[in-house]
Chain A
Amino acid sequence: MNEIVDLSMLDWSRGQFALTAFYHWLFVPLTLGITFILAIMETIYYKTGDPEWKKITRFWMKVFGINFAIGVATGIILEFQFGTNWSYYSWFVGDIFGAPLAIEGIMAFFMESTFIAVMFFGWDKVSKRFHLVSTWLTAIGANLSALWILVANAWMQNPVGMQFNPDTARNEMVNFWDVFLSPMAINKFLHTISSGFVLAGIFIIGISAWFLLKKREVPFAKKSILVAAIFGFISSLFLVTTGDGSARLVAQNQPMKLAAMEGLYQGKNGAGLVAFGIFSPTHTDPANDQLHEFLFKIEIPNALSYMIHLDANAFVPGVKDLLNGNEKEGMLTAADKISRGKMAIETLRNYKNALTEGRKEEALQMRDKFMSKDFQANYFKYFGYGFIKNSNELIPGIQLVFYSFHMMVILGSWFLIFFILSIYLIVNDDITKRRLFLKIAILTVPLVYLAQMAGWTVAEMGRQPWVVQDLLPTVAAVSNINAGAVMVTFWLFALIFTLLLIAEIKIMTKQIKIGPNEGGH
């Protein structure tokens, strides 16, 4: 446990992880979705024998390959950064968090990397059936790898299936199925992969729209739009459903995050849902400069209470309830939680010191106390709060989380409409004549990336200051490294990722311009 943490080092470490995660997530969702679209396209080719479908599959496969490589490059950094930059975290929860990473490697990465080789190089080396199976297995492998890392992430948002062991001073897994099948894990997985499917659908429609505007490769573009739009529409329905479930789970496990998402300062019965709002530039609460009132908002009365509790009059806590407590609702104050957390840390420290110094009987008594049901429920539960110096640290960046959340929801709604329009125009109308729609389709491509980033900003910034909800804040999880060292690697990563991103965009743009009929090398 870090006694004294250099806050600039903490900021650089957080910045480095965020930078890597954002770059990684620029590429991963396309991989998740486009692999399934490829598999569907190749299946049509396999069934019909129509060479046009082979051409379509091979073109999107080329696009996928360009995107995939850089996703792999950024992915390896994330895995190792858990150790390099979050050393204490690695020990404190490694017993639980490490397992999904290992399973991801053994079950998913090898499947993906093995069959991707067959998919790329096997067109004239293996049978059509084996090639098709390889394409499907690549898609399944890619999405399985997402499953395990999202299980790990969900566990950090809602730690379940574990017990703290004072002898090893870490959390240990006691029920794998609780970790794997927690509602948070299932929901996060489904929401995240469906968002990837939506992105891939929009990406393909957007690029195909460009071909149609240029009056090039019309049959290719129309067929691509048909598959992508149907796939994207079904995925959008999943996205909306799982998004709704996600909000309910956040309310249960991360009420502060929900309060930030909705800009809800004072909890109330029958809380309204802010459909859209703009904050005042100046704060109104002298005790907390994070709390800015709304300049303007559109609120749907009682909708938040109903959405969270399926009861229009239910109570939803706000930021102030979570900080100052709410006796009526049985909520502790943040100061009380901090004091209980400090007691838990102190008891653990005393136990370990007694053990080290050979005071065995005293150590045994302290251990019994630590492990008692009462202590676990009333003190250890707030273990992470013991590292918090000021209760205001418990509030995430409200405006960032609020705007990101609303941007994600508004864009998500647009995507659903966009897919419906795409299907309508491709099935019932001549889409080639709808030039405005085709231009909008191209503009929707950057928007879907923006929605992805907004979603992860809500998930990760919204849970601050926690790495593991209520148990470990970022300030206690970070490695004991020199801030200068992390600063240097931050800029090196920023430089190299940016160079590779520019290369990726240029190559991708060129390949698209070349189109499906040329080799591209």
Chain B
Amino acid sequence: MFEQLSHLTLQHYWWAIISLLAALLVFLLFVQGGQSLIYEIAKNRNERTMIMNALGRKWEFTFTTLVTFGGAFFASFPLFYSTSFGGAYWAWMALLFCFIIQAVSYEYRSKPKNFLGQKTFDAFLFANGLLGPILIGVVVGTFFNGAEFSVSNLNASTWQNQARGLEAVLNINNVALGLAVFFLARILALLYFMNSIEHKILFDRSKKLLVYNTIPFLIFFLVFVIRLVLKDGYAYNPETMVVSMEPFKYFMNLVQMPVVLILFLAGVLAVLWGIISSVLKDQTRGIWWAGGGTILVVFSLMLIAGYNNTCYYPSNYNLQSSLNIVNSSSSKFTLQTMSYVSLAVPFVLAYIWYAWRAINTKKITEGEMTGKTEGHIY
């Protein structure tokens, strides 16, 4: 079946899968968003336990999606993996450190004799919630704003900035995206709390915080999007593979790929409706609107980064070293082989959905956290 497809089609197919994984990852960052809220939303031990357990039942999905995103990127576009990971060393290391401390914190925080103390593990979760989304946003920002590296004719990459990736925070577009992702993660977390916890005070507090977080989100998101559609982009000629700067490249990508534009606008509207309906109508299903919208927006942004002859990882040091889905991908055979595995993705999504529903049919209550329960309590 995939044998009939050209290498170029497979490269596009795999960029779409990477984009979908990135979109799911950003949606699942609601776990991090929730962790960054623990000191604001929970005012006593019971409330914090409810918040932690609501998030703790989902943290592994975010973690797994991040790992799968990394693995799929490695497999489908290995030149990105070798260039960015081997180059932007400090940026990726910072991200990794803040994820290591998350993995154990849920399980260990409330266990007796946990050596570092509950406050330390909660601080780890807060740090992961604060830094994780910002760092991911900043790193993804370089997909549009470029990084400083060169690639030799033997495809060996060299990073050309001593800050080893930390220089990305000096770009306002990257920072705007990082902060937009951070506030979006918090919004999604608040909507998730409203959906999964049965507690009037937490519900009202979530609603109030939703408004406070929506304002900075909109500001940073608009800064990023406006600057993105107005900026020159990194285009390559598909015949000669020569890279050049093209005015309004990302805006033109949206215009020239109207389906992507529709997905983007639909996503933005869905996020807004998720927030508005929750604030005005006390809806508990806002997470699904805003979550679905987040997936559509991130998916469409990733498509305009890599489709329509655009370099998804531009080099500001040497334009011709910029990476695109053609020059950085795996061989046709590998993409073809992995495409068969990708057929399992809908099945995977289906069982995740089924299991998620099975666990979330009963909302978390104060009684469940404090009384006798058969379930695992964090």
Interface string of B61-90 (1 = CB under 8 A from A): 101101111111011101101111111011
B377 on interface, CB distance cutoff 8 Å: yes
Q: Which of A171-179, A314-322, A382-390 contacts B (4 or more CB under 8 A)?
A: A171-179
Complex contact B74–A98 (CB within 8 A): yes
A485 on interface, CB distance cutoff 8 Å: yes
A502 on interface, CB distance cutoff 8 Å: yes
B330 on interface, CB distance cutoff 8 Å: yes
| CA–CA, A97 and B79, complex, Å | 13
Q: List, in ascending order, chain A residues with CB within 8 A of B112's CB.
A: 507, 510, 514, 520-521
| CA–CA, A423 and B32, complex, Å | 48
| CA–CA, A355 and B68, complex, Å | 36
Q: List, in ascending order, chain A residues with CB within 8 A of B104's CB.
A: 69-70, 73, 500, 503-504
With A117-B57, A118-B355, A122-B359 known as contacts, the answer to whether A76 contacts B71 (CB < 8 A) is no
B3 on interface, CB distance cutoff 8 Å: no
With A118-B355, A126-B358, A481-B86 known as contacts, the answer to whether A76 contacts B63 (CB < 8 A) is yes
Interface string of A342-378 (1 = CB under 8 A from B): 0000001100110110000000000000000000000
Q: Give B101 Cβ to nearest chain A Cβ, in Å.
A: 7
Q: Which one of B67, B74, B82 lies within 8 Å of A76 (CB-CB)?
A: B67
Interface string of B164-202 (1 = CB under 8 A from A): 100000000000000000000000000000000000000
Q: Which of A229-256 contact B (CB under 8 A)?
A: none
A509 on interface, CB distance cutoff 8 Å: yes
Interface string of A93-110 (1 = CB under 8 A from B): 011111101111111011
A91 on interface, CB distance cutoff 8 Å: yes
Cβ-closest chain B residue relative to A349:
B154
Complex contact A121–B164 (CB within 8 A): no
Q: List, in ascending order, chain A residues with CB within 8 A of B58's CB.
A: 117
| CA–CA, A353 and B152, complex, Å | 10
Interface of B, helix, strand, loop or mixed by DSSP = helix
B46 on interface, CB distance cutoff 8 Å: no
Complex contact B334–A172 (CB within 8 A): yes
With A76-B66, A90-B81, A110-B352 known as contacts, the answer to whether A95 contacts B375 (CB < 8 A) is no
Q: Give A437 Cβ to nearest chain B Cβ, in Å.
A: 29
Q: List, in ascending order, chain B residues with CB within 8 A of A103's CB.
A: 75, 338, 341
Q: Which one of A110, A169, A356 lies within 8 Å of B68 (CB-CB)?
A: A110
Interface of A, helix, strand, loop or mixed by DSSP = helix
Q: Which one of A68, A99, A353, A502 lies within 8 Å of B337 (CB-CB)?
A: A99
Q: List, in ascending order, chain B residues with CB within 8 A of A485's CB.
A: 89-90, 164
Q: Which of B314-372 contact A (CB under 8 A)?
A: 330-331, 333-334, 337-338, 341-342, 344-345, 348, 351-352, 355, 358-359, 361-362
Q: Which of B99-119 contact A (CB under 8 A)?
A: 99-104, 106-108, 110-116
Q: Give A351 Cβ to nearest chain B Cβ, in Å.
A: 10
Complex contact A173–B337 (CB within 8 A): yes
| CA–CA, A511 and B113, complex, Å | 9
| CA–CA, A519 and B31, complex, Å | 26
With A173-B337, A176-B337 known as contacts, the answer to whether A91 contacts B156 (CB < 8 A) is yes
Complex contact B103–A173 (CB within 8 A): no
A79 on interface, CB distance cutoff 8 Å: yes
Complex contact A125–B100 (CB within 8 A): no
Q: Give A22 Cβ to nearest chain B Cβ, in Å.
A: 15
- A residues contacting the other copy or chain, number (CB 8 A): 93
Complex contact B66–A507 (CB within 8 A): no
A391 on interface, CB distance cutoff 8 Å: no
Cβ-closest chain A residue relative to B162:
A482
Q: Give B61 Cβ to nearest chain A Cβ, in Å.
A: 6
A87 on interface, CB distance cutoff 8 Å: yes
Complex contact B100–A73 (CB within 8 A): yes
A53 on interface, CB distance cutoff 8 Å: no
Complex contact B89–A479 (CB within 8 A): yes
With A73-B103, A80-B96, A125-B375 known as contacts, the answer to whether A117 contacts B355 (CB < 8 A) is yes
| CA–CA, A352 and B63, complex, Å | 40
| CA–CA, A111 and B57, complex, Å | 15
Cβ-closest chain A residue relative to B358:
A126
A120 on interface, CB distance cutoff 8 Å: yes
Cβ-closest chain B residue relative to A65:
B107
| CA–CA, A520 and B99, complex, Å | 26
Complex contact B76–A102 (CB within 8 A): yes
Complex contact B157–A87 (CB within 8 A): yes
B60 on interface, CB distance cutoff 8 Å: yes
A499 on interface, CB distance cutoff 8 Å: yes
Q: Give A277 Cβ to nearest chain B Cβ, in Å.
A: 41
A295 on interface, CB distance cutoff 8 Å: no
Q: Which one of B67, B78, B81, B362 lies within 8 Å of A125 (CB-CB)?
A: B362
Q: List, in ascending order, chain B residues with CB within 8 A of A73's CB.
A: 99-104
B92 on interface, CB distance cutoff 8 Å: yes
| CA–CA, A356 and B152, complex, Å | 10
Q: Which one of A80, A115, A118, A120 lies within 8 Å of B85 (CB-CB)?
A: A80
Q: Which one of A111, A122, A479, A481 lies within 8 Å of B375 (CB-CB)?
A: A122
| CA–CA, A48 and B344, complex, Å | 35
Q: Given A126-B358, A176-B337, 16 more contacts at CB 8 Å?
A: A73-B103, A74-B100, A77-B96, A83-B74, A84-B89, A87-B156, A88-B86, A90-B86, A94-B74, A113-B60, A121-B376, A134-B355, A172-B333, A496-B101, A503-B115, A521-B112
19 contacts between A and B (CB under 8 A): A65-B107, A69-B104, A80-B96, A84-B92, A91-B78, A91-B156, A98-B74, A105-B70, A105-B72, A106-B72, A118-B359, A121-B376, A122-B359, A124-B373, A172-B333, A349-B154, A479-B86, A503-B108, A521-B112
Nearest 9 interchain pairs by C-beta = A87-B86, A83-B85, A94-B78, A105-B68, A98-B75, A73-B103, A102-B75, A123-B374, A90-B82
